[in-house]
Amino acid sequence: MLGKLRPVGSRVPRPDSSSALSLSWDDHYRTEFTGSGTEALSIAVAIAISLKPEVREPEVIIPAYGCPDLVSAILAQGGKPVLVDLLPDSPFMNDAQVRDIITPETVALIGVDFLGISERMDVLSKICRDSNLFLIEDSAQRFPPVSSDKPLADLVVMSFGRGKPINLMGGGALLIRKEVAEGSLAILDSYPLSVLVTGLPWMLKRFVFNLLMARLPFYILEKVPFLGIGETRFRKLKAISRLELPAELLSSGIRCFGERPLIHKLYDRELQSIETFGWKLLGTRESENAGGDPDTPRLRYAILAPDNELRDQALRSLNRSGIGASAFYNKTLPHIEGVEEILKEEPFPGAEDFASRLLTLPCHEDVRASDITLMANIIRELGICR
C-alpha cells in the first residue's frame, strides 16, 4: 500500500468550550504562555540570569545531545551554553560531570525530558540546590511535566508546536514556581503580548494540517525537498513574545492527549525480544527506573541499536516498508550545522554513541498494532541475519 506512517505528530484539537481548563501544576506554578517553546525557554534563562546580577558571563548547562533550540534560547539572552555528556546507553545527563563543570558563572541547569521519558529531576534538583542554580525542566517533549507531580524545577517549559505532545500549531508555556513569580514579573512584562485567535483562518489551517497527517499525504509531502520535513536545523531566536492562548483550545488539547492510547506499552511488549540481540529499549521501567508516570503517552518510542551500522540498516528497512523511523537529531549538538561555530569541539563519548545508535519509532494515535508487529519483525530479522 502506498503511504507512510509519519514519525511524529498528533492532530490539532478543535477548541471546545465545554471542557474547563484545569492545570495540574496550578498549586505550585504560575503559567505564562509564549510564542513558542524556545521563547519560553529563553525567558526562563533571562529570569535565571536576572537573579544573579553579579555574574558577568552567565553559563547555562545543557545536555550535549539535544534540541538546537536550547542553544538559541540561551544565546538570545547573552548566555553561554555549556554542554555535558550523557550517561552510557541513556538519555540522562551525566550528573557527576554536571557537578564538575559548575563555575561561579553558572546560573542554570536545563534538564530535558527526552521524547516523554522523564529526566531525573530529583538528582538534578539536588545538584542545583547544593550550588544555588536554577533548575529548568524542558518538558517540550513530555506532558505533563515531571514537576507537575513534584515541583522540583524552578521553571518549566512546554511547547505546543507541531510534533509535540499537544499540537496547537505553535505556542509554548513557561511555568514559574510561585516563590519566584513575583520577582520575575518585570522580565515577563518586558515582552510584548500577542493574541492567538482561533477564527476561520486558524480552523482552515487546522483542517489542512490534520488532513496532511494521513499516510498517503505524508508519503508525498516527505518527497518535497524544500519542505525539509524531519530536518534538524539551528535557528537564531529573533523575537520573543508572550501569548494570550484561548483556554478552550488548551483544555481541549489536554483532554485529547489524555485520551490517546499508550502505544509505548505495545512496543515494550513486542520489542522485548530484540534486547537479546543487543538492542536496548529506552524508558522501560526495568531498564531505567525512569520515575514519573509510566502511563503517559510518549512522543516517540526510542531504542538503541547495538551499533551504528545496524541502526542505519534498520532505518532504511523500516522506511522502505512505510514506517517513519528516524535517527532524530542524528548528531550531538557541537556537530549540528550552525552550532559548530558557536560551541567548541569537545569529546562527548556518551552523547556521540547515543546519537549514532538511536532509532525512534512513531508513537502517535495512528500507529496500529500491525505496524508494531511489522517493525518488530524487521528489526528481529536484522538481528538474526548477523
Site for ligand PLP, rule CB under 6 A:
36-38, 41, 67, 69-70, 112, 138, 140-141, 159, 161, 172
If the CB atoms of residues 140 and 323 are measured against ligand PLP, the closer one turns out to be 140
* CB 295 to ligand PLP: min, Å: 21
Q: Is 285 exposed, middle or buried (0-12, 13-18, 19+ CB in 10 A)?
A: exposed
What's the grid cell of residue 290? 525512569
The 10 Å Cβ neighbour count of residue 326 is: 19
Question: Which residue minimizes CB distance to ligand PLP?
Answer: 37
Residues 6+ apart with CB under 8 A from 344: 334
* CB 60 to ligand PLP: min, Å: 13
What's the grid cell of residue 228? 525539509
If the CB atoms of residues 3 and 192 are measured against ligand PLP, the closer one turns out to be 192
Closest CA to 22 of 293, 252, 262: 252
Q: Residue 236: what residue type?
A: K
Can you tell me the distance from the alpha carbon of 239 to that of 256, in angstroms, rounded to the nearest whole number? 30
* CB 168 to ligand PLP: min, Å: 10
HSE toward the beta carbon, residue 228, CA cutoff 13 A: 4
Can you tell me the distance from the alpha carbon of 88 to that of 96, in angstroms, rounded to the nearest whole number? 13
* CB 353 to ligand PLP: min, Å: 20
If the CB atoms of residues 37 and 350 are measured against ligand PLP, the closer one turns out to be 37
What is the separation of C-alpha 376 from the centre of its chain, rounded to a whole number of angstroms?
A: 25
* CB 50 to ligand PLP: min, Å: 21
Sole residue written with cell 525512569: 290
Sign of CA dihedral 99, 150, 68, 108: negative
Q: What is the 3-state secondary structure (H, E, C) of 100-146?
A: HHCCCCEEEEEEECHHHCCCCHHHHHHHHHHHCCEEEEECCCCCCCH
If the CB atoms of residues 45 and 140 are measured against ligand PLP, the closer one turns out to be 140
If the CB atoms of residues 172 and 246 are measured against ligand PLP, the closer one turns out to be 172
* CB 323 to ligand PLP: min, Å: 21
Q: Specify the pairing of strand 300-304 against strand 280-281.
A: antiparallel
Residue 273 per-residue DSSP state: G
* CB 334 to ligand PLP: min, Å: 17
If the CB atoms of residues 85 and 138 are measured against ligand PLP, the closer one turns out to be 138
Please list the residues that pair with 59 across neighbouring strands.
80, 106
If the CB atoms of residues 63 and 383 are measured against ligand PLP, the closer one turns out to be 63
If the CB atoms of residues 67 and 74 are measured against ligand PLP, the closer one turns out to be 67
* CB 271 to ligand PLP: min, Å: 23
